Chain A
Amino acid sequence: MHTAIYAVLIALVLVIIGLAAKTLLGPKKGSKNTVLITGLPFAGKTTIHYLINYGKSVDTVTSIKENEADVELVPGKAPLHIVDIPGHERLRFKFSEFMPIARAVVFVVDSATVARQTRLLAEYLYDILANRFAQNEKLPILIACNKSDLITSFKKERIQSLLEAEINKLRQTRTAALDTQDADGNENVFLGFEGQDFTFQDLENEVEFIECSAENKDMEAVKDWMAAVCY
C-alpha cells in the first residue's frame, strides 16, 4: 500500500517538475509574447484584462499587484501572456520591470476624464514611449480610449490631439531635466523631430487609437489589434 502511494507520489513529482520547467522556461524560450495593459488609475485596466482573458465583467478596485493571464486570442496559435499593471503612481515602476519582455503595450485612457488628466496621461505615456525597450524594439502601442459609452467621452481624434500637444510641451521639459545621480544618460531620448510639433506619426513605434467600452463589453477591436500585432 505504501509503495503504491509512493509510486503515485513520484509520478506526481515528475509531472510537477515538468510543468514547472515548462512554465519557467516557456516564455523565455520563445519570442516575446507579453502584452502589457497599463494606464492611469480608474481607466479600466483590470476590467479590460478580465474581459479579454475570461470574458467576464467584474467589479474592481484599485489594484496593488499586477494581474497576469495567458489567453488564446486566435485558436490554435500560441497563447498571449497578458499583464495588467497597476496604474497608481507609486506602483508605476512595475511597468519598467515588464518592458524587457513586452511585445506590445495597451495604454488605457479614460475618455471621459481625459481633459482633466491630460498632463498625467501624457507624462505616463511619455515614460512609456521614451523607455529604452520601447525605443529599441519599436514596440507597437495601442491607445485604448475606454468608456466611450459615456456621453462626456471624447472622440479618439480629440484625445490624440490633446496628447500630442501635451507631449510636445513635455519633451521640452523632460530633455531639459537634471541628470540623474549616476547619469547613465541614455533615458533622455527626444520623441519625434526637433523643430516640429510632435505627432504620433513621427514615432518609429506604431501607435494606434481605438475607442472601446468595457461597460458594453466592446473589446473586439482591442483583441483584434493584439492579434494583428502579435502574430
Chain B
Amino acid sequence: MATYLYHNHSPNLELRDDIVFVELNPSQEYRSSILSGLRPEIVMEICTRAISFWTYQTAQEARFQEMTQKSLEDKLSALEKQLQKMTRDVNAELSGFRDTVGNLQKELEQEKRRGVDLSEQLDEKSRQLSKVQNMYDRQKRRPLFPLATEPPHSQIVMPSLPSWNPYNLYRTASAIQNPVGMEASRPPPAGAMLNKSVDAAAEPTIHTIYHPTQGHLGSPPRPFSPPAPMPVFGGPRRVDALPGGVYSGNSISQRFGGLVLWSKAYGPVQSSPINSLIQDVLIEERASTQIYYKDNYALKWTFINELDLVFIVVYPKSLGLTYIDTLLQAASSRFSDLYGERILRKSGGVPQLKDWGVEFEALLQTIEDQDALSKKSKQPRKFEQTVGYTNSLAFAKAKPEENANKAALLDEEMYQRNIEALKKKSGGSPRMTSRRANKAKSPAGSPVIGSENKKSKEARTWDGKISAKDAKSLDYSNSEGSNIVNADHLVDQSGMGQHSKDGTYNVADLDDNEDDESYSDDESEEEYTKISARSLQAKKPAASSGLMSFFKNMTGQKEMTPETLEPIMSKMKEHLVNKNVAADIAQHLCDSVAKGLVGQTLGSFKSVQAHVKQSMETALKRILTPKTSVDLLRDIAQAQAENRPYTIVFIGVNGVGKSTNLSKTAFWLLQNNLKVLIAACDTFRSGAVEQLRVHVRNLKALEQNAVVDLYEKGYGKDSASIAKEAIASAKQTKHDVVLIDTAGRMQDNDPLMRALAKLVTVNNPDKIIFVGEALVGNEAVDQLTKFNAALKDYSGLANPRHIDGMILTKFDTIDDKVGAALSMTYTTGQPILFVGTGQTYTDLKNMKVSHVVQSLLRE
C-alpha cells in the first residue's frame, strides 16, 4: 500500500478561515489499490465519508463567497454614501452662493428704488420750492408797485397758486422781454426767470431723462416735470467706488453732418455704439426715447438744434449713472455758450475747440464730486452773504414744512414775515435784479443763437440749484444757521467751482467768471453777488453779437421754442391722425420732430407752420424710404443661381387679401418668366384651396407657356408640413418661386399664431410678407407688433425671423388717408413692397414714397 501513497502537499494553514485548493486527480490504479480487497461495507463507509467531506468543503466555499460579496457590498454602499454627502455639501454651498447673489441683487434693487424715491422726493420738493419761489417773487414785486403792497393782496393771490400755469406766465414774460430797446430801469416781472425755468423743464428732453430707468420711455411728458436734478445722491458715489479701469465712459459732441467735433474716452469701447445710435434711433426718427442700449452700453444724448449738434454720452449700462443727464445738459449749454458763435460763423468748417477738454474734465469732476460737498465747505463763499440767498433759503426752509402738512397753504404770518424781510432788503432783491440788469445789459436782449432757448436753459439751471438747496435744507435741521451752511456748500460748489466749473446745469453760465471784470463795474450794487455777475457773464458772449440778434428780430427771425411749437405740433398730430396714422405713432413722430426743431431759428419770411411741415416731410420721407433692398427679382435671381426655389410666405389677419395679392404677385413673377408654385397652406377656411385653384387656372389662361402650379393637400392638415413638401417638390420640379398662402388669423389667437411661427421656423422662407389693409388705423400697430412677437417668441430660435416686408392692400379705397403706410413702416422699420390698387392681376404697384408723403401732408 505504501507504494501507492499519494504525495500530499503540506499546506500551512495559519488561520482558521484559510482554505487550500488541491487538485488531487488520483490515478485509477491508486483508487483501486486503496479500495481493493476491502469489504463492501467498508468501501461504502469510505465513500460516504468522502462524499460528506466534499459536501462540507463546498458549503464552506459557498459561505466564503457570500462573505466576500457582503464585504464588497458594504464597501460600495459606504462609497455611495460618501458620494451623496459630497453632492449635498456642494449643493448646499451652491445654494448658499445663489442666496448671496440673490440678496445682493435685492439690495441693489432696493438701493435703486431708494434712489428713485429720493429723486422723487427731490422732485416734489423742488416743485414746492418753485411754488414758494414764485410766491416770494410776487411778494417781492408788491413792494415795487406801491398799490400791491398790502398783505391782503397777497392773500388773494395765494389761492390761485395751485393752478399756476407756466405757459400763461411765460407768454406774458416773453412779451415783455421782446421789445428791443427796453430801458434798463424797467423791471420785468420777477416771475419771468422762474417761469421760464419751469417751462424749460417741461421740455421732454429733461423730463424723460430724469427717470430713464423707470420704463418711462415713450410715456407722454408730464406737464410739470422737475428741473434737471443735481446728482446729489447715489450716482457719483458709485463711480468713485469703482476701480480705475472699469468705468469706461465716452463722450462725444457730433455735428449732424457726421463730423466728430470732440470726443473723449475713459476706457476702451468695443464696436461702435454711436453709429448704431445714429442709425437705429436718430435717423429712424425715434428720438422721442431718451436712452438707448447697445451691447453693454447705455447711450444718452442731447441736441443743440441751433448748432446742429448732438452730444452723446456712452457708459456701461451696468452702471446706473444718475448724473449723465446733468452732465449732458451742463456740457451742452456750456459748449454752446463757448463755441456756439464760432460754429455758427464758420458753418461747415472744422471749428477749433481749444480748452474744451479742460472745461469738460472740470465739469465732469464737479458733477462727480457733488456728493463730496462737505469737504469743501472751507472755501470762501460769497453767495451766502447775498441777501437774496438768505431770503430764498428762509422760504425754502419754511415752505416744505408747511407743505408737508397741507398742500400749498401758507399762512398770513408767513407773508408778513416775507414782506418784512423784503423791506429790510430795501426792495432790491439781489438775484432777480441782477438778472434784470443782466437782461438790460445785452441791448438786443437776446444772443444771436437761440436767445430764448439759452435763457430758458439758464433759468432751468438756476432752478435746479434752488431745488438742490431746498433738498439740502430739508435734509438737515431746521435751524436757519445750519441750513445756510449746508445749502451753502451746495451753492458754493456749483458757484465757486474751484476750477471755475461747476457740475450743475447752471454751472455752464457760471463758468465764465474768467472774464468777469468787464462786467463787475457795471453792477455797482453790492448785493450783486459773484454769482449774478457770473451769470451775467454767461450772457456776455451773446451780447457781443447782440446786433445780429437785433436784426434778426427786426427782420422777423424767430427761434422756435417748445411753446411756439406746441400748438402747431398738436395740430399736426391731429392732422396725421385724421389721415389714419395710429395715434401713438403720430405722437411719437411729432415729439421727435419737435425735438429736432426746438432752438432752430426761422428765416424772415417763413412761418413756423411751414417750417414744421417741411421738417415733418423730411421725417416722413426718412421713415418711408426702405433701408433694405426691395428688389425682389434680384433676390430671386440669387436663389436661382444657388439652384433652390425662392420662398415667400404671405401672412396677415383674416380677409385682408392674402390670396388675392399672392396671385397678383404670381402674375407679376410669371411675366418675368419665372416658374411659380403656389402652396395652399390655408387648410382651415373652406374654399381657400378652391380659390387658389381658380387663380392658377386664370393665370395659366392669361399667360401663354406660364408655369404656375398649385400644391395642395386638402384641408385639416398641418400647414407647416405641407409647405415643407411644397418646397421640396419645387426643388425637384425646378420651380423658381414658391408662394405660400397661409390662413388668416387674428393676432390674439394664440394657437394659430404658434402654428404660424412653426411654419416659419420649419421652412425658413426667404421673405415673410405681411399683408395688411390700408383701411386699418390704430389696429395696424397691434397687428404688426403681435405678429412679429409671435414669430420671435414661438420660434425657439436664437435668431428668430421677423416680418421682412409688407403689402398694403385696398389702397385704392382710401383716397389720401394713407396713414396705415406710415404706421406700418414705423412699427416694423420694414418697407412696403407693394400696394394693391384694384381687383385685377395688374393692380399691384410699387409704393411711391413721395406720393404717400404728399397725401399725408395734404390739407
Contact = CB atoms under 8 A, between A and B. Distances in A.
A54 B350 contact: yes
Interface string B326-345: 00000000000000000000
A149 to B, nearest CB: 20
Contacts of A32: none
Interface string B623-656: 1011111011110010000000000000000000
Contacts, number: 136
Contacts of B671: 176
A59 B637 contact: no
Given A64-B283, A120-B629, A179 B845 contact: yes
B275 A181 contact: no
A204 to B, nearest CB: 24
A123 B625 contact: no
Interface string B661-674: 00000001001100
Interface stretch (A83-91, A136-144, A223-231): A83-91
B350 A58 contact: yes
Nearest to A169: B637
A181 B350 contact: no
Nearest to A60: B258
B348 A64 contact: no
Contact of A69 (B252, B260, B348, B551): B348
Contacts of B252: 61
Contact of A89 (B628, B668, B848): B628
Contacts of A8: 547
Nearest to B312: A61
B690 to A, nearest CB: 28
A170 B631 contact: yes
Contacts of B762: none
A86 B623 CA distance: 15
Contacts of A9: 547, 550-551
A173 interface: yes
B622 A90 contact: yes
A181 B848 contact: yes
B845 A181 contact: yes
B308 interface: yes
Contacts of B215: none
B282 interface: yes
Contacts of B34: none
A113 interface: no
B848 A61 contact: no
B847 interface: yes
A63 B846 contact: no
A183 interface: yes
B279 interface: yes
A51 B464 CA distance: 43
Nearest to A170: B634
A185 B758 CA distance: 41
A182 B668 CA distance: 18
Nearest to B554: A13
B633 A173 contact: yes
A119 interface: yes
- Report which residue of A41, A59, A68, A181 has the largest number of chain B beta carbons within 10 angstroms of its beta carbon: A181
B637 A173 contact: yes
A42 B657 CA distance: 41
Interface in A147-179: 169-170, 172-174, 176-179
A56 B257 contact: no
A181 B844 CA distance: 9
Contacts of A31: none
B254 A180 contact: no
A65 B348 CA distance: 12
A50 interface: yes
B845 A88 contact: no
Contact of B279 (A16, A62, A176): A62
Contacts of B551: 9, 12-13, 16
A98 interface: no
A173 B283 contact: no
Contact of A181 (B263, B348, B550, B846): B846
A192 B255 CA distance: 40
B714 to A, nearest CB: 33
Contact of B627 (A53, A84, A88, A181): A88
Interface residues of A, number: 47
Interface string A1-45: 000000011001100100000000000000000000000010000
A92 interface: yes
A146 interface: no
Interface in A108-146: 119-120, 123
Contacts of B263: 59
B834 A169 contact: no
A61 B252 CA distance: 10
Interface string B272-304: 101100110011100000000000000000000
A194 B692 CA distance: 37
A67 interface: yes
Interface in B820-847: 834-835, 837, 844-847
A46 interface: yes
B380 interface: no
B69 to A, nearest CB: 71
- Quick one: which of A84, A119, A177 has the most chain B CB within 10 A? A177
A66 interface: yes
Given A179-B845, A182-B848, A58 B279 contact: no
Contacts of A176: 633, 671-672
Contact of B257 (A66, A174, A179, A182): A66
Contacts of B278: 61-62, 64
A190 interface: no
A60 B259 contact: yes
B349 interface: yes
> Which of B263, B284, B349 is packed against the most chain A CB atoms within 10 Å?
B349
Tell which of A62, A68, A119 has the most Cβ of chain B within 10 Å.
Answer: A62
B837 A62 contact: no
Contacts of A13: 551, 554
B846 A178 contact: yes
Nearest to B252: A61
Contact of B851 (A86, A178, A182): A182
A58 B633 CA distance: 40
A56 B352 CA distance: 12
Nearest to A46: B258
**Among the interface residues B258, B279, B551, B851, which one has the most CB atoms of the partner chain A within 10 A?**
B258
A50 B848 contact: no
Interface string A76-102: 000000001010111111000000000
A88 B634 contact: no
A69 B310 CA distance: 20
A61 B257 contact: no
Interface in B590-624: 621-623
B630 to A, nearest CB: 9
A67 B350 CA distance: 11
Most buried by A among B259, B547, B668: B259
Interface of A: 8-9, 12-13, 16, 41, 46, 50, 53-54, 56, 58-69, 84, 86, 88-93, 119-120, 123, 169-170, 172-174, 176-183
Interface of B: 252, 254-260, 263, 272, 274-275, 278-279, 282-284, 308, 310, 348-350, 547, 550-551, 554, 621-623, 625-629, 631-634, 637, 668, 671-672, 811, 834-835, 837, 844-849, 851
Given A61-B252, A61-B274, A179-B846, 17 more contacts: A16-B551, A46-B258, A56-B350, A58-B350, A61-B278, A63-B256, A64-B282, A67-B257, A68-B348, A84-B258, A86-B258, A89-B626, A173-B631, A173-B634, A176-B671, A178-B844, A180-B846
13 contacts: A41-B279, A53-B348, A59-B263, A64-B310, A67-B259, A86-B258, A88-B279, A90-B622, A93-B849, A120-B629, A174-B631, A180-B848, A181-B848
Q: Which 9 A-B pairs have the closest CB atoms?
A: A63-B258, A173-B633, A59-B260, A65-B256, A67-B257, A89-B627, A46-B258, A180-B848, A62-B278
